[in-house]
Amino acid sequence: MAVQQSVGSDPYFPDNGDPRYRVHRYELTLDYRPGPNRLSGTARINAIVGRAPLAEFQLNLADFRIGRVRVDGRQPHYTHRGGKLRIRPAKSLRAGAAFTVEIHWSGNPKPVSSPWGGIGWEELTDGALVASQPVGAPSWYPCNDRPADKASYLISVTTPSAYSVVAGGRLLTRTTKASTTTWVYEQSAPTSSYLVGLSIGKYQTVLLGDPGLGGVPMHGHIPAHLLPQFSRDFARQPGMMDLFQRLFGPYPFDEYAVVVADEELDVPVEAQGLSLFGVNHVDGARGSERLVAHELAHQWFGNSVSIADWRHIWLNEGFAKYAEWLWSERSGGRSAQQLAAAAHRLLSSRPQDLKLADPGRKTMFDDRLYQRGGLAVHALRCALGDDAFFRMLRGWLGLHRGGAVTTAMFTAHAARFTPEPLDELFEAWLYRPALPPLPLTETRATA
C-alpha cells in the first residue's frame, strides 16, 4: 500500500484541511430523523501529529451546535466559526504523537455553499444523501477535509426502521430496537473525507451478478417501482467490473454498491465503494450506461488512488472518462479512437484556455477537463501501445493503492514504460492550453 505524502494546504481550498496532522481513523455514531431533518452525532477521531509539535489544530465542520470536545480525554479550548473548529489542547501535542479527539454535535444538516452551489448533505423528499465532492464532507461530520488525508471509517447510523441506510464499505450489523434500526458499516481502506458516501431512503436491495468464488459482491439499492428499469440499465455492470479488473487490476475494495435515489440528481456521485444515481439516470434503455462505467472506474481512479490536491483532478476524471471509451470499445460500441475523434471535434469548437494539469478552481469540473483528460490518456495509449499502456496502468494503480498522487508522479511513472521521451506529449496535453492534434493510431482494448 502506498505511503501518504506530506503535502501542504490545497491551493484551491486553503481553508479546508490542516496539513499539520493526519487522521488514521474516524468512528462516527449518528442518529438521523428524516422528518425534522435532525442529525446528532459523536465522532472519535484517531490522528497523528506531523513533524512539528501542535499547540492547536483545526477540523472542518459546518454550523452545528457543539455539545462536547475532548482531546485525549481532556477538555481543550475551542472556537467554532465559519466552518472551522479550532482546538487548542490543554497540553501541546508532541511531534509524531498519536492523539484522539471526541466531538459531539447536533443540528439540521444542510449543504455547504460552494462555487457550484450547495454540496454535501442533501435532504430529499423522503430521506437524505451525501454528495460531498469536493468540500461537502463538513456538512455532516467533523473532518480534516483534504483529499490526501485518507483514513479508515466505522459508521453507525440509527434511523427509523422504515428506512434503509447505505454507506460505502461492509455492513457489519443491522440491529432493530422498537421503531429504529442501527446500521453499522466498516470501510477499512484509506478513504478521503469527500468520498465517504451515505444514503438514507426506502430501498429494495438486489444482487448484481453472481460474485462466485473470489468475485466482487455488488448490490443495488433502489426504489421498488424502478426495479424493472434498473435491472436492464445495470445489467452489464458485472461485465464492466470484469473488464476493468483485467485492464486496471483487482477491484480495490471489499464490495461495490449502487444506490438510485428516488429523486433527480444533476450528475451521479462517486463515493468509496459506492455510487449514487438519480431516477433520471434510470430509463430502462441503458441511456446512462456510460455513467455507470464512469462511476465504477472512479473506484480505481480517484478513490483507491486519490489526488494529493485538487489541481490534479484530471487524474480522476480523465481516466474515468477514458474508461467509458474502453467499455464502449469492448462492449460493441464505438471504439476509443472514434470517441476520441468526437471529443476532439467538440473541444476544437470551444475556448482553449484550460490547462489540464492545473485548471483552476473555477473550471475544475468543466466538461472540457473531462474530454481533454480522456484525450490525454488516449494520446498516451497511442504513444505506448496497448501492451505497455495497460501494464503501466496496472503498475500505477498497484503501486499507489490507498495513497495520494500528483501529475508529476504519474508522468514520471509513465515514462518508465517506453524508451521514447514523453516530455513533449505531456507538455502539449497537460500544460499548454492549445489543443494538440488528434492522435490517429487505431487501438483495441486488450487485457
Q: Would the annotation count 221 as a binding residue? A: no
Phi/psi of residue 117, nearest 5 degrees:
95, -165
Annotation says 289 is catalytic: no
Burial of residue 50 (CB within 10 Å: 0-12, 13-18, 19+) is middle
The C-alpha atoms of residue 189 and residue 191 are separated, in whole angstroms, by: 6
Largest Cα–Cα separation, the chain: 67
Quickly list DSSP for 410-439: HHHHHHTT-SS--HHHHIIIII-SSPPPPP
Q: Cell 436492464: give the residue.
A: 232
Element at 407 (helix H, strand E): helix 407-415
Indicate which residue of 295, 322, 324, 329 is catalytic: 295
Annotation says 295 is catalytic: yes
Show the DSSP H helices in 50-151 as ranges. none
Contact indicator for 385, 419 with CB cutoff of 8 Å: no
What are residue 167's DSSP bridge partners?
Answer: 198
Indicate which residue of 26, 194, 256, 370 is catalytic: 370
Residue 101 neighbours by CB under 8 Å, 6+ apart: 43, 44, 45, 47, 59, 69, 70, 71, 87, 142
Angstrom distances, CA of residue 445 to CA of 79, 139, 246, 326: 54, 41, 10, 6
The C-alpha atoms of residue 259 and residue 280 are separated, in whole angstroms, by: 13
Cell numbers for 351? 475556448
Q: Look up residue 156 and give its DSSP letter.
A: E
Q: Would the annotation count 400 as a binding residue? A: no
Element at 296 (helix H, strand E): helix 289-297
Q: Are strands 218-222 and 269-271 parallel, antiparallel or unpaired?
A: unpaired
The C-alpha atoms of residue 311 and residue 20 are separated, in whole angstroms, by: 20
The C-alpha atoms of residue 404 and residue 402 are separated, in whole angstroms, by: 7
Show the DSSP H helices in 179-221 as ranges. none
Q: Look up residue 147 and give its DSSP letter.
A: T
Element at 292 (helix H, strand E): helix 289-297
In angstroms, how far is CA 366 from the centroid of its own chain?
17
In angstroms, how far is CA 263 from the centroid of its own chain?
21
Contact indicator for 166, 221 with CB cutoff of 8 Å: yes
Give the residue numbers of the binding site for Zn(2+): 294, 298, 317
Active-site residue list: 295, 370
